[in-house]
Amino acid sequence: MSATPSATNDTGTAGTTKTRPTVSPRTSEGASVLAGTRTLFRFALRRDRVRLPVWVLALFLGTISSVSSLDTSYGTAKKRADIAETMDSPAGLAMTGPKHYLDDYNIGSITAHQMLGFTAVLVGIMSVLIISRHTRAEEETNRAELVRSGVVGRHAYLAAALAVAVVANLALGLLLAGGMAGMGIDGVDGQGSLLYGLAHTAIGIFFAAVAAITVQITAYARGASGMAMAVIGAAYALRAAGDVGNDWVSWLSPIGWIQRTYVFVDNRWWPLLLVLVAAAACAAAGFVLSTRRDVGAGLKAARLGSPVGSEGLTSPLGFALRLHRGLLAGFGGGALLLGVMYGSILGDAEEMIEGIGELEDQLAEIGGANVAESFATVVMIVLAVVCSIYVVMAGLRPRAEESAGRAEPLLSTALSRDRWVLSHTLVGAVGGTVLILLAGIGFGAAGAASTGDGGLFLRLVGAALAFAPALWVTIGLAVALFGWFPRAVTLAWVVPVYGFVVDYLGEILKFPDILSDLSPFGHVPQLPAQDMSWPPLLVLTAIAVGLVWLGLVGFRRRDLETK
Amino acid sequence: MTKAITVTGLTKTFGRTRALDGLDLDVETGEVHGFLGPNGAGKSTTIRVLLGLLRADTGTAHVLGGDPWADAVTLHRRLAYVPGDVELWPNLTGGEAIDLLARLRGGIDKQRRDDLIERFDLDPTKKGRSYSKGNRQKVAIVAALASDAELLLLDEPTAGLDPLMEVVFQDVITQAKAEGKTVLLSSHILAQVEKLADRVSIIRLGKIVQSGTLSEMRHLTRTTIEAETERPATGIEELPGIHQLRTDDSRVHFAVDGEHLDTAVRRLGEFGIRSLVSHPPTLEELMLRHYGDELEHNGHHSEAGAA
């Protein structure tokens, strides 16, 4: 892999630089471009000493607990045969993996079939973030310039970042292999566990290598991560399309490759080699591309923009909208797609859930005329939680502007503090409402089509809109924190996290109602399964208004934090 | 003359640090007032209190006759601010940022905006994130000067500008002064303040240690004299207010307190002056009078500081 030469060369380099500091770059070109890699590698590990273990452990524990819960749910051969039959539908295969796993559906292959594609995405995100954080983000903040002016080779940053990604992915792979093999579950054998773990390692390294290219293209870490994540998304979409339709489409996707190890069924090792070769090629391309650009610059030249500000931009609200529009557009597309995805399997929901006794009982408890309606009610919470992620990000924006020193010039104009905060709040609240509406439209349209029940469309859109007041409470909380405890604004993340755990998982895992009462989502009427009820929505709206007002009072009284 | 800014007994603490410690400051309407002090003396904190971005712990501040905290928005229509460390929005072009800031202040003079952009040689189509520090500074300067403000609060406005742009800046400020605008110009670049300021206040550890016109201040300090005389000058050391005397045959070098300058020059005349060079105290020396102890504490021994 790309990092291996760096690790070996690096030892030699460090020695050379120490003993012969006057060595000419021409004579030791190969070594000098990697000078300092080891130091940067250790420095990166030091910086990520919390971040990486959290990522790795979360992925490890997530997998282990899933294996154990799958073992409980599908303990008998009868249940495994049932679920295999359920999965054998376009919706089932699109959300999991290729059909061949169903031929021997033991606990190991159930895990691999249902989890591998999904965890590959998460491992990919971890790897992309490692690379962009330790390469492009360093350049963007000008820290790289300072470091590169020392005895640090041209390729040292990228080599060190790739080495960190390799180490993180290897650690995850080995942990998974050991952990799963140690569970002693029938069907989860040692060889399969090792292959399953190393499949994660390979796909993680591949996406790290993809990021090694994207960080060369744009000058901004966010853009580079976004581009690499788009590749992850495309890889996932290709495998989903291929697994449902033509198998060759899946062969265009590295996620498809690792799924075709048919781990716990056939245990094929060679697809991993394919992934690693592709990774090496991408990493090599990254190294070559990096020599074609200046430090701090991207391959793509920065675009020029308008020399004047339009009337729309220069109003407080128009300006806030401008700052939020990228995020809003991204989430809008995502919400719509997510809605469509859930809607398209709504028709199959009945078959999928039938036979999973526990799930059936739980859905029955929610109420609703049929399984589709109960299932839709649970999906609504997922959609609302996703929209609330945007709302929190929008609510944190004033604080981000303040800490970056950009609020200072604005608030020394005739723009009052109230109007400034309110313009961001309004964009966040209306934006959140638009998002949940889009998710509802996608879910409603696709749901109506897949169930063949046209009346479902309006009911699902209405059910989605009922979550708007809960989203307003979410931004209200962010504003209140901003006014009174600006350093603690990130606490607003509690709403989506708590909402997901308590209102979504808790619904399935039967948490006591009192926990759900603490979440704004817990008070939203569970449409379409239950009846509409206005009072809780009015109370939520009033709470939202109160929180915003409280935040404004607090912000009016405090010092603006300046650099 | 009316006062554009009056500040009395201002204090402001951040946790344990006392940023302002009983600061008094007066700025007359229509003057360019230099606000001098090293980093960390409290210049930016003072300006932010005057903008109502920070609330003072005790003391009073009046800006254009209003209370900067309570009347922030109304006052901001009449003043413009250039921060010391300009941060721009990465996705907005410089031109957009200028229009945004100026319009939010209450209007922009398009002609003047374009003129300033040209004079400062700024490319308004570039995005905020691709600007250098100097260019970000230019964006803030253009935005401040393109609107019709009575009072300009400038916090080290030229920190990132090159010498050519520095000259443009001085022209622009001189012009603003001619239009009757009041300018509070904070800086640690002494030469700049020397060229522009009518009066100067020196801040140290959150207090104004000296305030006045430059000539008043110079009077309080020493003039350095270097002279060559026909006969060796003697008896100089007996005169009052003489410091750091060095004689070398016909050459003599000393510093003399402002009030005793006359006596010293008369005495020199008795020995037949061939050449005479006198240096008025530079602002560096003015500052060192107040900061000498600090420099010594840091291991630097300067003549002026030790004097």
Cβ of A414 and B92 within 8 Å? Answer: no
In chain A, the number of structural domains is: 2
Which of A412, A558, A563 to probe the B interface (max B CBs under 10 A)?
A412
Q: Which residues of A510-533 are buried (b: 16+ CB within 10 A; e: fewer)?
A: eeeeeebeebbbbbbbbbbbeeee
Instruction: Specify if A54 maps to a domain.
Output: yes
Residue A415 within a domain: yes
**What is residue A458's predicted lDDT score, i.e. its pLDDT?**
94
- B224-239 pLDDT, tens per residue? 889 999 988 888 888 8
Find chain A residues with C-beta within 8 A of B86's C-beta.
Answer: 409
Calpha distance A33→A13 (Å, rounded)? 9
**Same domain, yes or no: A264 and A381:** no
Confirm whether pTM is higher than 0.80. Answer: no
**Same domain (yes/no): A139, A71:** yes
Same domain (yes/no): A372, A498: yes
* Residue, of A25 and B81, whose pLDDT is higher: B81
Please list, residue by residue across B262-293, b when 16 or more beta carbons sit within 10 angstroms of its beta carbon and e when fewer do.
eebbebbeebeeeeeeeeebbbebbbbbbbbe
**Residues A176 and A253 occupy one common structural domain:** yes
Beta-carbon separation of B77 and A414 below 8 A? yes
Asked whether the beta carbons of residue B87 and residue A406 sit closer than 8 angstroms, the reply is yes
Phi and psi (nearest 5°) for A101? -60, -30
pLDDT for the residue numbered A370:
75
How does pLDDT run across A278-303, given as a tens digit for each residue? 999 999 999 999 998 888 788 877 77
pLDDT at residue A509 greater than cutoff 80: no
Q: Render pLDDT for B93-147 as a digit per residue (tens, 0 to 9).
A: 999 999 999 999 988 889 999 999 999 999 999 988 889 899 999 999 999 999 8
| A442 & A525 share domain | yes
**pLDDT score recorded for residue B306:** 36
Q: H-helix or E-strand containing A208?
A: helix A190-217
With cut-offs at 50, 70 and 90, classify the pLDDT of residue A65: confident
CA-based nearest residue to A391, from A491, A318, A495? A495
Instruction: Name the pLDDT band for B81 (thresholds 50, 70, 90).
Output: very high
- Average pLDDT score over residue span A316-344: 89
- b/e sequence A169-196, b meaning 16+ C-beta within 10 Å: bbbbbbbbbebbbeeebebbbeebbbbb
What is the per-residue pLDDT across A225-234, written as a single tens digit (0 to 9) for each? 988 988 998 8
Chain B residue closest in CA terms to A314: B100
State whether A321 and A281 are in the same domain. no
Please determine, for residue B300, whether its predicted confidence score (pLDDT) is greater than 70. no
Higher-confidence residue of A502 and A370: namely A502
Are A220 and A367 contained in the same domain? no
pLDDT over 60 (residue B72)? yes
3-state secondary structure chain B: CCEEEEEEEEEEEECCEEEEEEEEEEEECCCEEEEECCCCCCHHHHHHHHCCCCCCCEEEEEECCECCCCCHHHHHCCEEEECCCCCCCCCCEHHHHHHHHHHHHCCCCHHHHHHHHHHCCCCCCCEHHHCCHHHHHHHHHHHHHHCCCCEEEEECCCCCCCHHHHHHHHHHHHHHHHCCCEEEEEECCHHHHHHHCCEEEEEECCEEEEEEEHHHHHHCCEEEEEEEECCCCCCHHHCCCEEEEEEECCEEEEEEEHHHHHHHHHHHHCCCEEEEEEECCCHHHHHHHHHHHHHHHCCCCCHHHHC
Q: Are residues A336 and A398 in the same domain?
A: yes
Q: At what angle do helices A107-134 and A37-47 cross, to 10 degrees?
A: 110
B87 and A413 within 8 Å at the Cβ level: the answer is no
Q: Interior CA angle at B110 toward B90 and B96, to 5°?
A: 10
Residues A366 and A281 in one domain: no
Domain holding A101, by residue range, is 3-9+36-290
- Mean pLDDT, rounded, of chain A: 87
Alpha carbon distance B92, B85 (integer Å): 17
Closest alpha carbon within chain B to A220: B129
Does A387 map to a domain?
A: yes
Task: Tell me if residue A26 falls in helix, strand or coil.
Answer: coil
Give me the mean pLDDT over the A37-41 stretch: 95
A329 vs B: CB within 8 A? no
- Whether B283 contacts chain A with CB within 8 A: no
Domains of chain B: 3-217 (3.40.50.300), 222-280 (3.30.70.260)
Q: State whether A407 and A524 are in the same domain.
A: yes
Q: Of the candidates A205, A561, A238, which has an alpha carbon nearest to the alpha carbon of residue A406? A: A561
Nearest CA in chain A to B139: A409
Please tell me whether the interface predicted TM-score (ipTM) of this complex is above 0.85: no
Please check the confidence at residue A2 and state whether its pLDDT lies above 80: no
CB atoms within 10 A of CB B235: 9
pLDDT band at residue B303, thresholds of 50, 70 and 90? very low
Give the pLDDT band of residue A530 (cuts 50, 70, 90).
Answer: confident
- Would residue A19 count as lying in a domain? no
pLDDT tens digits, one per residue of A229-272: 889 988 988 898 888 878 888 999 999 999 999 999 999 999 99
Pairing state between β B199-204 and B32-36 = parallel
